[in-house]
Chains A and B, each alone.
Chain A
């Protein structure tokens, strides 16, 4: 199996198909630039890694959309997304504002819509925590770990998959309420 991951077009295909090696390569080749940027703007290495992984998810999911067309280099795209995500992060945490003006070495700037994905993930995690058990676990098993209802009912000792499914539905409705309440609370705080 000969993979030419240096070829941008081929690499793109591998990323699209979820190939592990291609993700490792992306990380190896493109993370240092992002790390540098985030460190310069008041972030830690750990934060940079987290941001970069989010950017990879955004990229991967964009590639699943057939109408999406990459108009720049992969590197540029990932850098732009990471940068946007980090700027959002800084905006939302007024306390930890960068000491200096934001340094920006990028020449190209790509508009990437990420729908404040980090904000949503944070709210979702907080909502799951508020939700308590067994809801948090059942929802995580199903939506994050992708376990089947059968498997979940076994692990959480429900009598059958149908019961687990009903429970999951009730939890989902509660989560939805909390999620959107928390989200609107946050927005009103910002104002």
Chain B
């Protein structure tokens, strides 16, 4: 890693805008190397000092207000000046900020079987299984590392092909803690076993390959992975398995950055539910422009999707890393200008992913 990248990550680590995966990875990197450790300590000290100055300025402003505006205080609604500076306070405060302002949940279903057994309304159960970031970040990491493994023995989400011969992309958080993965479509009850080929922990995506002999290559895949950013305001939709059948949802790109200014993601106004994790985000041409990551539980209409550039890059790595080259989709097949027709063509290529 070059120092520029390192300093960017250290900064995001400090202001709490790394995802738990990124955080974990960065912890590992820093602890693995004395040079990195020293460098990290230096950046921490610098950022910490800047933070002190920033908060002091804000407090100073508030106190000056006391002198000049004493009369108007009573009538004025509470001016929460400090909320504005929350963005970059410190690693400690970051956890508090999250608790205060926003809760993000990953979108995959867990505990499906236990629901069936107990005949409990699956609705509440699903809700309960959303991971709640309002708890301390460490507990999140734990729940990803250990907790999930112990408690959950099933999870499901969505995946979609990036090649005609069985390579699919999905969310890493969906598959990382499980040993068996199965891909199936709504049309067909056959489930094909798959294994993880490539992981990108930094961006929470993975490529899996269907290894089942029953699986037949597609003649073609209708969509490509777009290698360019899209603009805010653009129309996007997703197809995913928030229940046993494919569910369509659409909306627009609300922001070109994700949760806490994460530049690798978009914020979308698409309703998303558990099970949508790993689902593609497509634009009005039917090109894949992102993959669903998480939703903001405290805000009605904020869903986060990783930009498709990172999927594209991972697929590029795949072509150079694996023996059996995937036949990567190169040409956009869907051209229908009619939305319903387009979805009809795409839908058979959206798959359910179940892991045990």
Contact = CB atoms under 8 A, between A and B. Distances in A.
Interface in B62-113: 62-63, 65-66, 73, 77-90, 92-93, 95-96, 100
Give the 9 A-B residue pairs with the shortest CB-CB distance, closest first.
Answer: A18-B82, A64-B93, A65-B92, A143-B50, A120-B49, A20-B62, A124-B49, A57-B55, A20-B79
Nearest to B97: A64
B7 A121 contact: no
A115 B83 CA distance: 25
A121 B62 contact: no
A117 B54 CA distance: 13
Given A54-B56, A121-B53, A143-B50, A61 B89 contact: yes
A57 B95 CA distance: 18
B90 A56 contact: no
B188 interface: no
Contacts of B48: 115, 120
Contacts of A19: 78, 80, 82
A66 B81 CA distance: 21
A4 interface: no
Contacts of A53: 56, 59-60, 63
Given A24-B66, A173-B3, A176-B42, A61 B55 contact: yes
A60 B46 CA distance: 19
A144 B53 contact: yes
Contact of B96 (A20, A21, A64): A64
Identify whether the interface residues of B are mostly helix, strand, loop, or mixed: helix
Interface in A144-191: 144-146, 169, 172-173, 175-176, 179-180
Contacts of A145: 54
Given A57-B56, A64-B92, A146 B78 contact: no
Interface residues of A, number: 38
B93 A57 contact: no
A71 B62 CA distance: 27
Contacts of A64: 89-90, 92-93, 96
B356 interface: no
Given A66-B96, A117-B49, A169-B4, 9 more contacts: A20-B80, A23-B63, A24-B73, A53-B56, A56-B59, A61-B55, A64-B90, A172-B7, A172-B46
B85 A146 contact: yes
11 contacts: A21-B78, A23-B62, A23-B63, A24-B62, A53-B63, A56-B59, A60-B59, A66-B96, A66-B136, A117-B52, A144-B57
